[in-house]
Amino acid sequence: MEILAGQWWQNLDVWTLVVTAIVALGVGWLTAWATLRASNPKYKLGWWEQSNTPLFAESRWAGQSSPLSVRLGSTHLEKPRIVDLVITNLGKRDITAAKFHEGAPLRFSFGHPVLVILDYESQPAAGLSQLIGTYTDIGSGSAAPPVSGIELRPTLLRKGQRVTITVLVDGDREATRCIDFPLVDVDEVLEAPSAVAREIGMGVLAGVTRSLPFPFR
C-alpha cells in the first residue's frame, strides 16, 4: 500500500488529469458567467447635481440691500440660483421607454419651485423638448404648498447618452433629490463616475501610504 501511494503521488499523468479537470471546470464556469452576463447586461441610470450656483453672493450683502435685483417677469427673486442636473445612461444597453413602469416619468425636486427651465442639451443630440417639463405636487393636505420640480417622461436613452437640464430656482441651497425613479430593472447611480473613481483612488493611495516604512508627504 505504501508503494502504491508513493507511486500515485509521483504519477505525472494523474496530476495532469487533475489540473486539466480543474482548468476545464474554471473555463466552463467563466464561459457560463460571461454568457449569462452578455445575455442579461446591467442597466444603469446615473443622475447628479453638476452645479448649484447663486447668481450673486448673498453673504456679502448681509444686513444691507444688495445693489443687484433679479426679476422673472413681475416677480422679484430674493435668492436666485441656477442648478444643472445631469441624467445619463451608464449601462451597456439602451434604456427604452418601456422600462418606465406604467409610463411614469422620472421626477426631481430641488427643494424650491422650479421657476423656469433655462436650457437642456443631450449628447448625442436627441429631441427631448416634449419630454422634459415641470410638475406640481399639491402634497397630502390642502394647506401644503405646491412643490414643483422637473420630470423626464418615458423616452429612449441610448447607451452613453448624457442629458443636462438647467433650471432657475429661488431660495437657499437644497439637495437635489430624485423623488420618483420608476425604471424597472435599472440600477440608480447617484454620483458621477469620476467622483467614484476619485474616492476609490484616494482610498487605495491612503492604504499604500500607510504601508510605507517612512512618512509620505
pLDDT, averaged in runs of 10, over the chain (217 residues): 53 64 65 51 90 78 64 86 95 94 95 92 86 80 69 95 95 93 94 59 44 46
Distance of alpha carbon 136 from alpha carbon 18, whole angstroms: 67
pLDDT score at 73: 84
pLDDT score at 40: 57
Distance of alpha carbon 161 from alpha carbon 84, whole angstroms: 16
CA angle 34, 37, 38 (to 5 degrees): 85
pLDDT score at 152: 96
pLDDT score at 204: 40
Question: Which CATH number does 43-58+68-200 carry?
Answer: 2.60.40
Q: Where are the beta strands (DSSP E) in 147-216?
A: 147-152, 162-170, 177-180, 186-189
pLDDT score at 103: 95
Distance of alpha carbon 217 from alpha carbon 211, whole angstroms: 14
Distance of alpha carbon 181 from alpha carbon 177, whole angstroms: 10
pLDDT score at 129: 80
Q: Helices in 47-88 by DSSP H: which ranges?
A: none
Burial 8-26 (b: 16+ CB within 10 A, else e): eeeeeeeeeeeeeeeeeee
Instruction: Yes or no: say if 124 and 161 are a contact pair by the CB < 8 Å rule.
Output: yes
Cis peptide before 146 (omega within 30 of 0): no
